[in-house]
Amino acid sequence: MILGTGIDLIEAARIRASHEKFGERFLQRILRPAEIACCISHKDPAPFLAARFAAKGAVSKAFGTGIGAQLGWQDMEVGRKESGEPFVILHDGGQKLLQERGGRIVHLSLSHTEGHATAMAILEG
């Protein structure tokens, strides 16, 4: 059963500007170490950073909370299977919300171009 859905769209230029202005501090605020390593391994990390930013926004919308007190940036992580398929790893507040909502899994789809990144999340019970 679908318990919630979320979608988010972000401009890569916005994330690029934040990364250039705040550097590592910005990355560590919104991403976990494995996500940072994955994104900065690309020649232009901005679209990949933006995709993860959008993913976390979409997941927070699927839970119905947005990003804040119940679900923070570090409570969610985007992993990648060998096939390249993204998946969601929930930590701390994310795990707590999953249990409270009666969820079983969060499905995730990402897409990005040079200019935009989008993500869709489905919370399944």
Q: Catalytic: which of 42, 43, 56, 61? A: 61
Q: Catalytic: which of 56, 91, 107, 112? A: 112
pTM: 0.95
Would residue 61 show up in a list of annotated catalytic residues for this protein? Answer: yes
pLDDT value of residue 121:
98
pLDDT value of residue 116:
97
In this structure, what token pair is assigned to residue 75?
A: 């409570």
Q: Provide the 10 A C-beta neighbour count for residue 88.
A: 21
CA 64 to chain centre: 15
Run of H or E residues at 78: strand 76-80
β pairing state of 76-80 and 105-112: unpaired
The domain made up of 2-124 has a fold known as: Ribosomal Protein L22; Chain A (3.90.470)
pLDDT value of residue 108:
98
pLDDT value of residue 85:
95
Q: How far apart are the first and last CA of the chain?
A: 5
Stretches where the chain sits below pLDDT 50 are none
Would residue 81 show up in a list of annotated catalytic residues for this protein? Answer: no
pLDDT value of residue 51:
98
Listed by start position, the domains of the chain span: 2-124
